[in-house]
Chain A
Amino acid sequence: MKLSDEERRTLDGESGVGAQKAMELLVALGKTFDAERLIGVRKAHVALSGQEGDTYWCELLVNGGAKCAVPPTTNPCWDVDGLTKVYDVTTYERDLALRTIDVYRRIGAKLTFCCTPGLGTNVPFFGENVAFSESSATPYVNSVIGARSNRESSISALAAAVIGKTPLYGYHLDENRRGEMLIDVEAEMKDSYDWGILGYCTGAIAGARNPVLRFKKPVRPSQEDFLYFGAEAATSGAVAMYHMVGLTPEAPTLNAAFGNRQAPAPESVITDKDLSETEQKLSASTGPINLVMLGCPHYTYDQILQIERYMNGRRVHSDVAFWVLAAADAAELASRSHVRSRLERLGVYIVPDTCIDEPCWKSFEGGLGVTDSPKCAYYRERRGQPFAIRRLADCVEAAVLGRIGR
């Protein structure tokens, strides 16, 4: 891998130990993936989490004097001021969150605390080279926008933000953006939930490959639909880019999706039956619930309006907490339009800046939760809360009834 004199000096430690560590990681990745050199980036997104692993890395860089050349937007941690009024955490858990926020502040991140940067807080343009971590954000910017990012980890994206560069390999190169396999979709796509389940099926088949989806029935996905699809494809697999023929910008035609080459025969056909079987496998749970948790990825303003329509003036059951984890801009808009206060009167609460996988939610562990997100269920499993996974309308019914049926 070729480095400029300046890059070499950074690697040798002349810009401080923090920048050196960051450069070492970029060079290790570059060598692994046979990158010829580093390229400049002007946008980055770091998947800050409030977990020890990424906080450790950020502290290592900051304590070594590093500062971001490109201020990256950040993933959510959790709303410490708001949620500690309602739920108990240990001093250690609270301090870890504050320590995380503080260290990302010191390294010069833009503290957006939102896992859907491509929808508003950090939108790259078509063809722009960027370094985006957050496994649901990377496929969104690659596939839906046509920007160019590898599947960055939280730590490699931070390294890229510190240096302002990323190794030139993978999805930055035309030849690697071509589809690698074809999936035919015969299933009917009713709402975002179906797109999520389709994504889960796709990730399991595609693994780390770039899948091309061809729909047999007419579809018109919203930004939320794309987001749900990518989030789940990056949960059951490691999909960082996909094409949907006639829908995503680098796939105007089937052949274009494969780099103007002959498309292969479909490797798989996904039907309504496949979606319902996946749903059954992911989510067998039924019974009384203690939590409805929505917003993995973060809910948008439009999705908040949808909750209000389904609630239709009914109140949430007294045994159930109903939390909507939303992008800060969506929460603010909901306040301005008074949707937020109307929902609160029904027992539905919106919280910005917060992820599902945080210690603030531990008082619900041991009970059954309901969510519309397989990704939420998958990551909460380690923290000891099983989730039933249902479409939004059914999540709302469960909230009102206090239990989930089949």
Chain B
Amino acid sequence: MSGQTRVYKCRGIVKGSASGEAIVSRDAMCFYLCDPETGEVIERNHSIQGKSIAGKVLVLKSGKGSSVVQVDGFYQLWVKGNLPAAIILKDTEPVIVSSAVITSSTMVDRMEADPFEAIEDGDYVEVDADAGEVRVKRGESIDEK
């Protein structure tokens, strides 16, 4: 497996391409419950509480919560440079799409494989919204198991 890259088709929502370490959130997120200074998720009882999303490829169930603070959450992370490099969405909803559009955050959905099956924390992931492709390289630490 080591070094092998798997390629999946997807749909681009907000254009651009970016890559980084994957972080997987099976819970929906409200980005306002992130610390804008660090990108750390501060929501209690959240599956990725205490982890940072800054600069990572975030594999995300969906958006949730307020229709305004979600936008401000994105905005604050944007101006501090702590947004995820790209977001792969499982369930697409309008508030998170709006937030990504105004902050020009690369976002894709409709990945041909279930992103929660195909991607794990620590994988190296390239997201190309323009080509409609997600490329996944399994992280070294996972290969050693």
* Residue from B62, B69, B75 having most chain A Cβ neighbours under 10 A: B69
Among candidates A28, A150, A156, A238, residue contacting B65 with C-beta atoms closer than 8 Å:
A238
- Residues of A close to B70: CB separation below 8 A: 153
What does the 1/0 interface line of A356-393 toward B look like (CB < 8 Å)?
A: 01000000000000000000001101100000000000
A207 in contact with B62 (CB, 8 Å): yes
**With an 8 A cutoff between CB atoms, is B48 at the interface?**
no
* Residue from B91, B93, B95, B101 having most chain A Cβ neighbours under 10 A: B95
In the bound assembly, the distance between CA atoms of A32 and B99 in angstroms comes to: 13
Among candidates B32, B33, B71, residue contacting A153 with C-beta atoms closer than 8 Å:
B71
**With an 8 A cutoff between CB atoms, is A75 at the interface?**
yes
Interface stretch (choices A51-59, A118-126, A338-346): A51-59
* Residue from B32, B43, B79 having most chain A Cβ neighbours under 10 A: B32
- Residues of B close to A156: CB separation below 8 A: 94-95, 98
B93 in contact with A53 (CB, 8 Å): no
Total interface residues on A, CB under 8 Å, equals 43
Given contacts A25-B101, A170-B94, contact A57 B65 (CB under 8 A): no
Interface stretch (choices A83-91, A132-140, A221-229, A252-260): A132-140
In the bound assembly, the distance between CA atoms of A75 and B92 in angstroms comes to: 25
- Residues of B close to A203: CB separation below 8 A: 64
- Residues of B close to A378: CB separation below 8 A: 33, 65
How far apart are A142's CB and chain B's nearest CB, in angstroms?
Answer: 13
Among candidates B64, B73, B92, B98, residue contacting A25 with C-beta atoms closer than 8 Å:
B98
Given contacts A28-B101, A155-B102, A379-B32, contact A150 B94 (CB under 8 A): yes
- Residues of A close to B73: CB separation below 8 A: 53
Among candidates B43, B45, B74, B93, residue contacting A238 with C-beta atoms closer than 8 Å:
B93
**With an 8 A cutoff between CB atoms, is B7 at the interface?**
no
A53 in contact with B64 (CB, 8 Å): no
**With an 8 A cutoff between CB atoms, is B5 at the interface?**
no
In the bound assembly, the distance between CA atoms of A203 and B69 in angstroms comes to: 18
Chain B 66-92 residues near chain A, CB threshold 8 A: 66-76, 79, 91-92
B75 in contact with A153 (CB, 8 Å): no
Among candidates A32, A57, A208, residue contacting B62 with C-beta atoms closer than 8 Å:
A208
**With an 8 A cutoff between CB atoms, is B28 at the interface?**
yes
- Residues of A close to B125: CB separation below 8 A: none
* Residue from B14, B65, B71 having most chain A Cβ neighbours under 10 A: B71
Given contacts A151-B95, A156-B94, A238-B28, contact A379 B66 (CB under 8 A): yes
In the bound assembly, the distance between CA atoms of A170 and B95 in angstroms comes to: 13
What does the 1/0 interface line of A168-202 toward B look like (CB < 8 Å)?
A: 00100000000000000000000000000000000
In the bound assembly, the distance between CA atoms of A115 and B27 in angstroms comes to: 27
Given contacts A53-B73, A381-B33, contact A237 B64 (CB under 8 A): yes
What does the 1/0 interface line of A11-29 toward B look like (CB < 8 Å)?
A: 0000000000000110011
Interface residues of B (CB under 8 A from A): 13-14, 28, 32-33, 42-45, 61-76, 79, 91-95, 97-99, 101-102, 109
Q: Assuming A153-B99, A382-B42, what are 15 further A-B pairs, CB within 8 angstroms? A: A28-B13, A28-B97, A47-B68, A51-B71, A53-B69, A53-B73, A53-B74, A54-B68, A57-B102, A151-B67, A153-B98, A203-B64, A207-B64, A281-B45, A381-B33
Show 15 A/B contacts (Cβ-Cβ < 8 Å), sorted by A.
A25-B98, A32-B13, A48-B68, A51-B75, A53-B69, A152-B67, A152-B95, A152-B98, A153-B94, A155-B99, A207-B61, A207-B91, A236-B64, A238-B63, A238-B95
Interface residues of A (CB under 8 A from B): 24-25, 28-29, 32-33, 47-49, 51-54, 56-57, 75, 133-135, 138, 150-157, 170, 203, 207-208, 234-238, 281, 357, 378-379, 381-382
